[in-house]
Structure 1
C-alpha cells in the first residue's frame, strides 16, 4: 500500500492563527485538492491527521468540522479522486491526550486502520509538531512551505526532513 498522511490546516487549506471556525473560512490552498485527487488516481491512499483544538475551545462544533471534511471529500471527488481516513484530535493542549500532535496517536490510528507500518511513510505538515509526530513513529517528516511552513523552517527542522513548496509539488514528486 502506498500511504501518504497529511496535516490539514496549512497543507490542504489556508490556516489562521485565529482558527478555521466555519465552512466559509475553510479555503483550499491552490492546487491542493487537485494534488490529492492526482495522488489518489495514481494509487496512493491519502489520509489526514489534524489537531482541532478549536472544538475543545468552543470555537466551532463537531458538526462544523464534519461539514468542512465533507466539503473536502466532495471537492476531491469532483476532481476524480478519493480521500482516505480523516482522523482529528478535538482536545485542547492541556488535556493530556495521546492523539494531539506532536504525539503520534493519530498517525498510529491511521496505521492501524490500514494495517500498514508507519516506517518511511511520508507525513506532510507545516508545523514542528507535525514533524515531531512523524519522527516519533519513524515516518518520513515532510514540510511544506505553505501555512506555518516558512516559520517552522526558520526555527529548524529535524534531520532528514524533506521540504517542498506545497502539496502540488509533493504530488509531482511522488507520481
Structure 2
C-alpha cells in the first residue's frame, strides 16, 4: 500500500489571481506575484496541488458552468506552461440565498463546509493532517480546519477580522508565505 500524499490546497480568487469579483474571462485575469513559484515548489516537494473555490457567480447566473470550465482549462494551461501543474480544480456552484433555480441550495461543498477538500482527499488519497491550505478568507480557513488540514495560511487577511478564532497563520504576500514554508517547500 502506498503512502498517502500531501496536498497544497489553494483558494482561487485572491490567492491565485487578483480578486475582481466573479472572474470568468481570461482577459480579466491577473495572477498574483509568486503564485507560479509557490506551486512549482510544492510540486518539487511532492505535493499534489488542488484549487478549491466557491463560484457564486454561477449560482447567481453571471456565467455558466461551461464558461467556468473554459476559464479553468485556460488557467490550468497557464500553470502547466509555467512548470507548475495543478492536479485538480474543485468548485462549488451553489449559494444558499442568492442562487437561482437548482443552484439555490445549502450544500456540503460550499466553504466554510469541508466538502471540496474531503472529496480531493478521497479521490487522491491525501493525508490532510500533513497538508497545507492557502486562502484569503475566514471561510477558507474554517473549511480547512473542518477537513483536518494541518497547516492553514490566510493570505492578506482582509476578509477575516483581527481576533477571529485564529486557527491559521496570517501572511501578507505569497513571498512571505514561501519564506515561512522554506523547509517544507525549498527552492
Fold-level similarity (TM above 0.5): yes
* Cα distance change on mapping 1:42 and 1:86 into 2, 3 Å: same
Unaligned runs of 5+ in 2: 98-104
* Cα distance change on mapping 1:168 and 1:2 into 2, 3 Å: farther
* 2:95 counterpart of 1:92: yes
* 2:122 counterpart of 1:112: yes
Conserved 8 A contact 2:113-2:146: yes
**Equivalence for 2:155:** 144
Q: How does 1:6-17 map to 2 (within 5 A)?
A: 6-16=10-20
Please report the TM-score for the alignment, with normalisation by the length of structure 1: 0.87
Unaligned runs of 5+ in 1: none
The number of equivalent residue pairs is 170
Q: Give me the CA root mean square deviation.
A: 1.8
Please report the TM-score for the alignment, with normalisation by the length of structure 2: 0.82
| Counterpart-to-counterpart distance in 2, 1:171 and 1:48 | 18
Q: How does 1:1-175 map to 2 (within 5 A)?
A: 1-16=5-20, 18-94=21-97, 95-139=105-149, 140-145=151-156, 149-152=157-160, 154-172=161-179, 173=181, 174-175=184-185
* Cα distance change on mapping 1:71 and 1:168 into 2, 3 Å: farther
Q: Which of these two proteins has the greater Rg computed from alpha carbons? A: 2
* Cα distance change on mapping 1:171 and 1:83 into 2, 3 Å: farther
